[in-house]
Amino acid sequence: VHHTNEIAQSEAANNTKMANYWLHGEFLIMKDEKMAKSKGNFITLQTLKEKGINPLAYRYLLLTTHYRSKLIFNWKNLDAAISALDSLYEQFKKLDNAGGESNEDFEKQFVASINDDLNTPKALALVWKLLKSSLPSATKRATLLKFDQVLGLQFASQENIKLEVPKLVKTLATKRERARRAEEFEEADRLRKEIEENGFTVTDTANGPRITKKK
């Protein structure tokens, strides 16, 4: 009856069919108990947004567990999902967007995973396999965007997002690079910690220091 009521409410409110298919996931477990309003252990997406957490990180967390399996929710698991999704976004932004075509073999593997009783953990593992592959950068990008039509992690929305680095952090990074080149490693380490205190991290690359938001 509960599900029938949910459908009735949704369709009456929106004047459209709720969904073509509805898969009910297993219980969401928090502190060894099923998450429920009646138990007072209920968290909404609004709670995550108020904490400054991207709701898509929660979506990523859901995708790591098959819908027929119980999902253990805790902040440690969510933090891991946040880091994983941030890493995927960073890798996506580095991919070449010059006219690549989706890889047919990876597409077939992905569709097979989804058709295997909506095996999202397997499909998600394929994302990481794709990024680690030796395929051309533009091909990886095109294939990942195909995957995302199902995963819904909104990779395309990351393309025009530019990290705004404060002038102070840029200055600290420049000073640190000078100290590092002069082999003044204690000073370089001190400056790195100061950068982190300002909410950023600096990574040494072949093309110079790379500044990213601290996770």
Tens-place pLDDT, residues 171-215: 999 999 999 889 898 999 999 999 999 988 887 766 677 787 776
Give the pLDDT of residue 193: 92
Domain-located, residue 45? yes
Give the pLDDT of residue 31: 74
Give the pLDDT of residue 210: 75
Q: Are residues 15 and 66 in the same domain?
A: yes
Confirm whether pTM is higher than 0.85. no
The domain in which residue 185 lies consists of: 167-213
Domain-located, residue 78? no
State the first-to-last Cα distance of the chain, in angstroms, to the nearest integer: 43
pLDDT-derived band at 165 (thresholds 50, 70, 90) equals confident
* Cα–Cα dist 108/34, whole Å: 36
Q: Are residues 207 and 148 in the same domain?
A: no
Question: Average pLDDT in the 85-103 region?
Answer: 88
CATH number at residue 115: 1.20.120.640
Q: Are residues 103 and 121 in the same domain?
A: yes
Q: Are residues 102 and 66 in the same domain?
A: no
Q: What is the pLDDT of residues 112-163, one digit of tens each?
A: 999 999 999 999 999 999 999 999 999 999 999 999 999 999 998 876 666 6
Domain-located, residue 84? no
Q: Are residues 115 and 134 in the same domain?
A: yes
Is the model more confident about 95 or about 41? 95
22 within 8 A of 4, measured Cβ to Cβ: no
For residue 161 the two structure tokens come to: 């997002």
Q: Are residues 107 and 154 in the same domain?
A: yes
Burial of 155 (0-12, 13-18, 19+ CB in 10 A): buried
Q: Are residues 139 and 178 in the same domain?
A: no
Give the pLDDT of residue 162: 62
Measured in residues, the chain has a length of 215
pLDDT-derived band at 66 (thresholds 50, 70, 90) equals very high
Indicate the number of domains in the chain. 3
For 161-206, give the DSSP string: ------HHHHHHHHHHHHHHHTT-HHHHHHHHHHHHHTTEEEEEET
Distances (CA, A) of 183 to 15, 176, 188, 205: 67, 10, 8, 16
Q: Are residues 133 and 180 in the same domain?
A: no
Q: Are residues 65 and 9 in the same domain?
A: yes
* Cα–Cα dist 11/19, whole Å: 10
- Last residue of some domain: 73, 103, 123? 73
3-state secondary structure of 33: strand
Q: Are residues 153 and 184 in the same domain?
A: no
123 within 8 A of 150, measured Cβ to Cβ: yes
- Last residue of some domain: 45, 73, 101? 73
Domain-located, residue 21? yes
Domain-located, residue 23? yes
Domain-located, residue 178? yes
Q: Are residues 147 and 122 in the same domain?
A: yes
Give the pLDDT of residue 100: 85
Q: Are residues 142 and 172 in the same domain?
A: no
